[in-house]
A and B are shown apart, each in its own frame.
Chain A
């Protein structure tokens, strides 16, 4: 995302930023940036009904600029689309003040984000538990430390590693794209494969070949590589499905033109491909790709082969991806990526927790309690927090977590890691209530039974 203009008072947290989303991932950043009560200004197309002199109505589409006071956001990770809902805050010829509207942010079109503009909005929130003299609580506008960090991350122009992954087991494959901030499930492929049975060998072989064929053609489609004419006849029907999908999912198709050529990799058009499975499925699939590439002499496929990594996973489910990425052999290849760091971090946390010596804890109230007692500070304290918590529609709830983060970072000297809820490791954290901590000393747990935070979150 490009930062076109910025006018933010870091002291008060008031101000605005003009941003230009350039790729689908930017919508994810925008989703994390835009909170309820913010103002969002962007151009939109409106359909206007006009009554002509003779009394008939005509319908026209007009471009207009909408400014909304945000009530909620809705992110479609598959399509990479962000819908921003709110009430019109600036009236114009086409829209009435206070009317409800939904704006779809678009690629390559500026939008303006204004936070903390009105006194009595965000600023008046009661800061629970925060001492009035806390330097931390001075920022009352929406540009708090988390929002600023998100903005910085979003506008970081460095090219980031992306990788395709197929997590599979016999008959099941999850095809996904791992970006710096998200793991996007592109397609789940299921082909029933008869089990081992006396005399059933050929039926099984046929089903397996069909499975590999389907996975490969689906994968190539999503990677936007040309299809190879496969041995089986199934490719044709698969191709038809592909077209349908892409027509409605234009963002994906738009991706390559907007991607600046990268200098860091030898062949920028081919992303690495990770194949992972229990047993031999992934390596058998690798062999299948090899054979197909040789038979068809397809250049893109041969180029792709050079970038294939085969790894072990315990299942073909998506959640096994976290374990693959954290495994030493893969981690070393993905070293400086956010998802690898996050996976490693969660692993470290789980190891600590298993020791059961009280130096690791999870759950909102437990972690707050530990921070309160000073156990998450200098000398090894690490706060792990899912960015889903900052997206809370409840302003006070967001404030609660920003305060906690600021406290650990600024006052306690601990380390804070904000994990993307759109990665598998972030999902692991979410199972634990979205927040966890590695502590410098064991903290006695408050033995209260009244509120069950985790249950509340997961029931919601």
Chain B
């Protein structure tokens, strides 16, 4: 089905509907009144009404009749009924400023569709293919036809003609919400000690090997699997990568011995449930690393203690990754000084690295107390899950890597804020769940049966199932990385990586222009940049350098600088080629030619003009 088309049809018909409501009460009573509904219809109506009310939430009050009329018109499709009622209710009940946005994003789709229909320019604009347009047009035709027919048809006809259709829809809808008080459920679940961490660091410093080792030593991966991986690795001459292959699963990664994309894995200690996000170290895959880092509560920075390796990493991704996670809001860092076996467990080497890194990290804005240094060897497993064998490193009496991870304080969770999930992956969750997404709940709670708004498409979808740590659950809360099974939405059409699922009452606006306060890593000029946020990788421009700012006070130092020097803080105006869902306070990264040039906070979306001049005066 094609949701936005439907919306459009309905808004076209809205006038007619209003007309019917106002003068034609009899019209409904005569021909489609409740008395004449078939028992099936009545039952659908009853169930549907309850669901629509739930979905609408307390903020929107709709009369029984409004809900039922909507249900009737949408063949008992709850999601679309809710959408319709919201569309007629919201302008009156909420601040007008909030409303235009969803409408805008719908018209964006329509524009894209129109543009695509114009084949000459279709190449430029992403949007449905001409074939899709045709299909949509056909659908539109039949839907509109049905719609009209329905109003005219007598109730009995409808009971015959439409019940099948309705039932079919209902059976999909039958995933009832348990109506849980998720916050209360969470409080009593004892799930508070859960954390996601991202494993970062320069290429080949041993991140994946270290995590493979950790999972092996904690018995998450059994010996047989490791043996098998070892044999396979031997066959293609990559023996030293066997442990890394626990994380590196694609053939490309294995053949090349390089991690390309985030690998997710889970393990549990007596105190805490952890989710590992193993990031790639190679410069080319920093966008993937950012996608991982934006789902993390804290980070494990892996450093190769070997001669020269540490030093070259400090010029490369050791530095870039550390700066990035800090800019993305990560405050706690466990520095794993790895490959200590290759450095003969020399305390001097460990101390040297510790000192240099401490200085660098303090500079980058990490507090000393939030940084722990752990010497270890992923390859041998020393000081990962078990302590260093006696005599190897008599100078070290600190914790193992695993105990250092456990020291992580539980992250604050924005449980009561409106729901936000940035989509990190879209896939087919199986036959039962043809459409699934995964991502971290940045804020809010979610339970099976909920209706969510997908931005920027402006479409509603229903949560037909939830998984956390690979287990089916009834609910999920902020901070968790969940797999969300969705229904009632055309994923291929309306969902893209980096889109945001949010609460229908508080959707995220779609933004093409914003100002941001940035910390620059490299020179910043008015230039073309990639703007990264979660999985979003959007092309855009730094349009103007508004001002350089004082690092601590944020006061304007120089207006309209020609260039922003590395290390400086500045306010810049950014324009995107295509809108992305974005809110004030979102963290974005700017990259040019494969380098991170700046990271920052979105200050003002959309109202660029107003605020920019305000800041300058």
Q: Check B528 against A427 for contact (C-beta < 8 Å).
A: yes
| Chain B CB within 10 Å, residue with most, of A197, A248, A312, A433 | A197
Interface string of A271-289 (1 = CB under 8 A from B): 0000000111000100000
A249–B119 touching, CB < 8 Å:
yes
Contacting residues of chain A (185-215) with chain B, CB-CB under 8 angstroms: 185-188, 190, 192, 194-198, 200-201, 203-204
A317 touches B539 (CB 8 A): yes
**B123–A185 touching, CB < 8 Å:** yes
Partner of A280, one of B119, B252, B530, B541: B252
Give Cα A363–Cα B545 distance, bound, in whole angstroms. 12
1/0 per residue, CB under 8 A from A, across B31-46: the answer is 0000000000000000
Which of B120, B252, B563 makes the CB contact (< 8 A) with A78? B120
CB distance from A82 to the nearest CB of B (A): 14
B256: chain A residues at CB < 8 Å are 280
Question: Which residue from B121, B126, B261 sits with its C-beta under 8 Å from A190?
Answer: B126
Q: How far apart sit A323 and B529, CA to CA, in the bound complex (Å)?
A: 12
CB neighbours (8 Å) of B227 from chain A are none
A245 nearest CB neighbor, chain B only: B119
By beta carbon, the residue of chain B nearest A362 is B562
A101 interface hit (Cβ, 8 Å): no
A431 touches B542 (CB 8 A): yes
Q: How distant is the Cα of A362 from the Cα of B124 in the complex, in angstroms?
A: 30
Complex interface: stretch among A103-111, A262-270, A349-357: A349-357
**Is B131 in contact with chain A by the CB < 8 A criterion?**
yes
- Mostly, the A contact residues are mixed
Asked if A196 contacts B250 (CB within 8 A), the reply is: yes
Chain A interface residues toward B at CB < 8 A: 76, 78-79, 185-188, 190, 192, 194-198, 200-201, 203-204, 237, 240-241, 244-245, 247-249, 278-280, 284, 312, 314-315, 317-320, 323, 350, 353-354, 356, 361-363, 366, 427-428, 431-433, 445, 449, 452, 454-455, 458
On whether the beta carbons of A78 and B121 are closer than 8 Å, the reply is: yes
How long is the Cα–Cα vector from A245 to B264 in the complex, in angstroms? 42
- With A197-B427, A245-B119: A428-B528 Cβ-Cβ less than 8 Å: yes
Complex interface: stretch among B90-98, B172-180, B368-376, B519-527: B519-527
Q: A314 — which chain B residues lie within 8 A by C-beta?
A: 284, 530, 591-595
Chain B residues with Cβ under 8 A from A240's Cβ? 131
By beta carbon, the residue of chain B nearest A77 is B124
A163-B182 Cα distance, complex, nearest whole Å: 58
8 tightest A-B CB contacts, nearest first: A314-B594, A278-B284, A194-B427, A319-B528, A196-B261, A187-B123, A195-B425, A317-B539
User: Given that A284-B252, A432-B525 are contacting pairs, would A320 and B593 also be in contact in the complex, using a CB cutoff of 8 Å?
Assistant: yes
Q: Are A245 and B563 in contact (CB under 8 A)?
A: no
**CB-contacts of B120-174 with A (<8 A):** 120-124, 126, 129-131
Choice from B129, B261, B526 contacting A241 with Cβ under 8 Å: B129
Cβ contact within 8 Å between B528 and A200: no
B496 CB–A CB distance under 8 Å: yes
Give the complex CA separation of A312 and B543 in angstroms.
27
In the complex, the answer to whether B497 meets A318 with C-beta atoms within 8 Å is no
Is B285 touching A431 in the complex (CB atoms < 8 A)? no
- 20 CB contacts below 8 A, A to B, read A76-B121, A78-B120, A78-B121, A192-B426, A196-B261, A197-B427, A198-B249, A198-B263, A203-B427, A245-B119, A245-B122, A247-B119, A248-B120, A278-B285, A315-B530, A317-B537, A350-B525, A428-B528, A432-B527, A458-B541
Question: Given A203-B427, A314-B593, A319-B528 in contact, is the A196-B260 Cβ separation under 8 Å?
Answer: yes
- Report Cα–Cα, A247/B438, bound state, in Å: 42
Say if the beta carbon of B336 comes within 8 Å of chain A.
no
Given that A78-B120, A244-B130 are contacting pairs, would A204 and B593 also be in contact in the complex, using a CB cutoff of 8 Å?
Answer: no
User: A243 to nearest B CB, angstroms?
Assistant: 10
Let me know if A323 and B593 touch, CB within 8 A: yes
Asked if residues B563 and A197 are in contact (CB atoms below 8 Å), the reply is: no
Expressed in whole angstroms, the minimum distance between the Cβ of A300 and any Cβ of chain B is 22
Can you name 12 extra interface pairs (CB under 8 A) apart from A353-B523, A445-B562, A454-B544? A185-B123, A192-B492, A194-B426, A198-B264, A240-B131, A245-B119, A314-B593, A319-B528, A362-B562, A431-B525, A431-B526, A431-B541
Q: How far is the CA of A409 from the CA of B87 in the complex (A)?
A: 62
Q: Contact check: which of A185, A197, A280, A361 meets B264 at CB < 8 Å?
A: A197
Beyond A350-B525, A354-B523, A362-B562, whether A241 also contacts B284 by CB under 8 A is no
Cβ 8 A contact of A458, one of B119, B131, B543, B560 = B543
Given contacts A200-B427, A431-B542, A449-B559, contact A317 B120 (CB under 8 A): no
- Give the distance in Å from the alpha carbon of A190 to the alpha carbon of B538 in the complex: 13
Q: Which residue of B lies closest to A284 (CB)?
A: B252
Expressed in whole angstroms, the Cα–Cα distance for A353 and B264 within the complex equals 42
Interface pair B563/A76, CB less than 8 Å apart: no
Contact with A along B102-128 (1 / 0, CB 8 A): 000000000000000001111110100
**Complex interface: chain B residues within 8 A of A366 (CB):** 562
Question: Which of A315, A362, A432 is most buried by chain B, counting CB atoms within 10 A of its CB?
Answer: A315
A196 touches B539 (CB 8 A): no
**Whole-angstrom CA separation of A428 from B527 in the bound complex:** 6
Given contacts A192-B497, A323-B593, A454-B526, contact A361 B126 (CB under 8 A): no
Complex contact A78–B123 (CB within 8 A): yes
- Judge if B53 is at the interface, Cβ distance under 8 Å: no
B565 at the interface (CB under 8 A from A): yes
Q: Is B262 located at the chain interface by the 8 A CB criterion?
A: yes
Taken together as a complex, chains A and B put the C-alpha atoms of A203 and B130 apart, in Å, by: 26
Please indicate the chain A residues that have their CB under 8 angstroms from the CB of B592 in the complex: 314
Give the one of A203, A284, A317 with max B CB within 10 A: A317
User: Is B83 positioned at the interface, with any CB of A under 8 Å from its CB?
Assistant: no
Q: Which residues of A contact B263 (CB under 8 A)?
A: 196, 198
Bound Cα distance from A309 to B261, whole angstroms: 26
The answer to whether B575 has its CB under 8 Å from any CB of chain A is yes
Q: Is the CB of B525 within 8 A of A353?
A: yes
CB distance from B276 to the nearest CB of A (A): 12
Q: B273 in the interface, Cβ–Cβ < 8 Å?
A: no
Nearest CB in chain A to that of B430: its residue: A199
